[in-house]
């Protein structure tokens, strides 16, 4: 922002020739300008002739110009350094401001909120209810597997007579495939029936439902009627 | 294999802080094995083991819960159907012992009133790292009127004894509870439903 006009003026000075340096702002002087000035002044001093007082003045003027040269160089160096530092700080501030706005957004969410990084493959993405459902289904299937394994064991060990096998098995297969409710109703009846038949310690009176004729009396069959 | 698969089904529940060894205790009992790698239980899992007590074949359906706080809403919904609850702490972890009162409160809030409770101080093989004296476990168990065992899933100490004792205690309970011991469903809701439909018997 500040550099373009500066350059323009420098260019103007160049165009204006050595005398142009004298018309410049002291804060924009360069070593080159100082040499221009010394050229201009040297020329004019020479025009004054070889008066010893002029010679004496010329030494002093040279000395002053040298001092000016040093100051101008030094000043310009400092300005350059300051400019670099300013640019660095500006970049730094911008970075902090960007971080700050991100952090600011987080704070605005409130103490019980969190920010989810959508690019994180391990980000949370399922609800508690979904987890609950999956776990329930897993456990249901696991228990069905256990029942099936036990039943299989019964067949293998010949505890269920082969003639009873196919029919009974088919029935059980359908049973497993059936909806949960229908299934548990049937099983409930089976257990109730079982207890009643055994003259168990409790009298289970299930008046609302007709007796279940599916009951298998073999021990293993019974195992298939619960999950 | 025996002719009858089982006469009664008892539903047990394991609770306690994360990392105290609930899954290992259960794994030792169900499979007589031990694994040193720690895998945090996701939500809830179960294992089945049939035991014989007083001439009855009892199928134990043992629910293993995640100790981590973030699963608590899931795990507490399984308290209701439990007939016995094992509360486990780690004798090398003072915090897990301090939290016992919190777990007992959970039981009071979510479980059946007549649920059989038991306290286990696990990892008793690691005596060099012990921070909870046995006497402290015994004391808190006495205060709450529940049984207590120090166990080690790793060294197989008192594991079977604890489960069998809990099952025996349930077996001694009034008849009503035994009706409920014929559940067909493993989830909390169905169990609850059954429980209620049979209380009139």
Domain at B29, CATH number: 3.40.50.300
Q: Could you list the residue range(s) of the whole structural domain that residue B139 is in?
A: 8-172
Residue A164 to chain B, least CA–CA distance (Å): 16
Contact B186 A140 (CB under 8 A): yes
Measured between beta carbons, which residues in chain A are less than 8 angstroms from residue B45?
A: 139
Beta strand pairing call for B44-53 and B56-65: antiparallel
Residue A105 to chain B, least CA–CA distance (Å): 25
Predicted interface score ipTM higher than 0.90: no
Residues B115/B85, Cβ–Cβ less than 8 Å = yes
In a domain, B1, yes or no: no
> Looking at residue A224, what is its pLDDT?
39
In a domain, B35, yes or no: yes
Q: How confident is the model at residue A151 (pLDDT cuts 50, 70, 90)?
A: confident
Element (H, E) at B160: helix B159-171
Domain count, chain B: 1
Residue B142 to chain A, least CA–CA distance (Å): 33
Position A66 pLDDT exceeds 50: yes
CA-CA distances (angstroms) from residue B6 to A73, A104, A145, A150?
102, 62, 17, 11
- Top mean pLDDT of A171-180, A200-209, A215-224, B128-137 is at B128-137
Longest dimension (CA), chain A: 148
- Top mean pLDDT of A53-57, A183-187, B114-118 is at B114-118
CA-CA distances (angstroms) from residue B75 to A119, B19, B66?
31, 16, 7
> Looking at residue B173, what is its pLDDT?
79
Average pLDDT over residues A85-104: 85
Residue A142 to chain B, least CA–CA distance (Å): 9
In a domain, B47, yes or no: yes
Alpha-carbon gap, residue A31 to A71, rounded angstroms:
9
Alpha-carbon gap, residue B55 to A23, rounded angstroms:
119
In a domain, B121, yes or no: yes
Kindly report the pTM of this predicted structure.
Answer: 0.57
Measured between beta carbons, which residues in chain B are less than 8 angstroms from residue A133?
A: none
> Looking at residue B197, what is its pLDDT?
32
Partner-chain residue, chosen from B5, B73, B184, that has the shortest CB–CB distance to A128 = B73
Alpha-carbon gap, residue B53 to B160, rounded angstroms:
13
Q: How confident is the model at residue A99 (pLDDT cuts 50, 70, 90)?
A: confident
Walk along chain B (201 residues) and give the pLDDT tens digit of each residue: 434 578 888 999 999 999 999 999 999 999 999 999 999 999 999 999 999 999 989 999 999 999 999 999 999 999 998 999 999 999 999 999 999 999 999 999 999 988 999 999 999 999 999 999 999 999 999 999 999 999 999 999 999 999 999 999 999 876 555 555 554 433 344 443 333 333 333
In a domain, B97, yes or no: yes
Task: Provide the angle, in degrees to the nearest 10, between the axes of the packed helices A180-197 and B188-198.
Answer: 40
Measured between beta carbons, which residues in chain A are less than 8 angstroms from residue B178?
A: 201-202
Beta strand pairing call for B84-90 and B56-65: unpaired
Residues B30/B150, Cβ–Cβ less than 8 Å = no
Measured between beta carbons, which residues in chain B are less than 8 angstroms from residue A184?
A: 184-185, 190, 194
Partner-chain residue, chosen from B5, B42, B190, that has the shortest CB–CB distance to A222 = B5
Instruction: Return the SS3 of B87.
Output: strand
């Amino acid at each position: 922002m500040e550099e373009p006009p500066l350059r323009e003026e420098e260019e103007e000075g160049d165009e204006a020739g050595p005398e142009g340096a004298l018309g410049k702002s002291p804060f924009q002087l360069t070593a080159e300008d100082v040499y221009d000035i010394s050229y201009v002044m040297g020329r004019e001093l020479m025009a004054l002739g070889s008066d010893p007082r002029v010679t004496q003045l010329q030494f002093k003027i040279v000395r002053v110009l040298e001092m000016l040269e040093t100051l101008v160089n030094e000043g310009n160096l400092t300005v350059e350094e300051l400019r670099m530092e300013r640019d660095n700080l500006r970049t730094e501030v911008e970075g902090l401001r960007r971080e700050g706005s991100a952090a600011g957004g987080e704070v605005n969410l409130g103490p019980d909120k969190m920010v989810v990084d959508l690019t994180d493959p391990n980000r949370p993405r399922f609800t508690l209810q979904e987890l609950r459902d999956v776990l329930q289904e897993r456990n249901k299937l696991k228990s069905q597997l256990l029942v099936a394994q036990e039943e299989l064991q019964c067949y293998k060990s010949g505890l269920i007579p082969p003639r009873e096998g196919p029919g009974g098995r088919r029935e059980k297969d359908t049973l497993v495939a059936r909806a949960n409710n229908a299934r548990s109703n049937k099983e409930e009846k089976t257990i109730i029936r079982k207890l009643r038949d055994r003259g168990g310690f409790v009298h289970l009176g299930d008046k609302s439902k007709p007796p279940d004729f599916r009951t298998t009396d073999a021990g293993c069959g019974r195992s298939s009627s619960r999950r | 294999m025996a002719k009858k698969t089982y006469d009664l089904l008892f539903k047990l529940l394991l609770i306690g802080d994360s990392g105290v060894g609930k899954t290992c205790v259960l794994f030792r009992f169900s499979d007589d094995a031990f694994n040193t790698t720690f895998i945090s239980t996701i939500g809830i899992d179960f294992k089945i083991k049939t035991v014989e007590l007083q001439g009855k074949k009892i199928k134990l359906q043992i629910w293993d819960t995640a100790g981590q706080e973030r699963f608590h809403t899931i795990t507490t919904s399984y308290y209701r159907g439990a007939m016995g609850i094992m509360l486990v702490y780690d004798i090398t972890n003072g915090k897990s012992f301090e939290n016992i009162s919190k777990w007992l409160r959970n039981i009071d809030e979510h479980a059946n009133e007549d649920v059989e409770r038991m306290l286990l101080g696990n990892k008793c093989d690691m005596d060099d790292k012990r921070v909870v004296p046995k006497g402290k476990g015994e004391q808190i168990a006495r205060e709450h009127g529940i049984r207590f065992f120090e166990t080690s899933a790793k060294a197989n100490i008192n594991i079977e004894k604890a489960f069998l004792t809990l099952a025996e205690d349930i077996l001694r309970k009034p008849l009503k509870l035994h009706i409920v011991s014929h559940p067909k469903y493993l989830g909390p809701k169905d169990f609850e439903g059954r429980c209620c439909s049979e209380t009139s018997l």
